[in-house]
Structure 1
Amino acid sequence: MHKFLIETYLYLSNSDFMPEVHHRIMSHLHPSKDHIIVAHSLGTVIAYHLLHQFTHFRAHRFITLDSPLAFKVIQEKLTLPISRPPQLHGDWFNFYSPDDFLTAFP
C-alpha cells in the first residue's frame, strides 16, 4: 500500500515524473494501429489519463483491473467526471473485486 501511495503521488504531483511515464508508454503506441490497452491499479489511472490527453493513437478496447479511479483523491487530478475517453473506439471493461477496499467501487 505504501509503494502504491508513493507512486501515485509521484505520478499525479511531480511535474518531471508524469511526462517521463507518458513518453515511455507513448513510444510504443503507433498512430495508425488500433490498440487494446490493459492496465492494472495505478496503470489504469495512467492509461485513462493518456486516453484523454493524447489524440495521436486509437484504442480499440480498454481493460482496467483493480482500478482506483473511483477515489476522489485520484479524480481531483483527472478530467472530471470520469467519462469515456475520446480515444477509445470500442469497449471498456472494468474488473474489480468487492473484497478489495481499493477497488470495491465499480
Structure 2
Amino acid sequence: MLQELNNDNFDTTLGQVPGVYAVRFWAEWCGPCRVMSPIFKDVARDMQDRAHFGEVDIDQAPELAGRFGVQSIPTVVLFKDGQVIDRMTGAAPKPNVLRFINNHLD
C-alpha cells in the first residue's frame, strides 16, 4: 500500500511502522517524477509484505523536503525504524529501485 504523507501524518506514520519505509518525494510538475510514479507504485505493490511505502508532494509539504535535505526530485528516502538510512535521487528503472530497497532489508 502506498500512503500519502504530509506534515500532519508523517512523524506519526513513520514512528508507528517498524522496519524499512521508502518515501518518494515528488511534484506534479516534475517530468522525471511522472516517469517514476508507476515504477514506484509497482515496487510498492511487489514489496508490500517486506517494506512500507509513502509519497510526499513537495508542493504540499515543502517543510518535509527541507527537513530531509531533498534538493532535487524525484528522491526516494529510505527510513528504518524512523531513521534515514539511504537515499536515491532521479528516475530509475524498476530493477534498480527494487535492488536499492532490497539492499536494506534484513
TM-score range for the pair, normalised by the shorter chain length = under 0.3
Q: Between Structure 1 and Structure 2, whose CA radius of gyration is higher?
A: 1
TM-score normalised over the length of structure 1: 0.27
TM-score normalised over the length of structure 2: 0.27
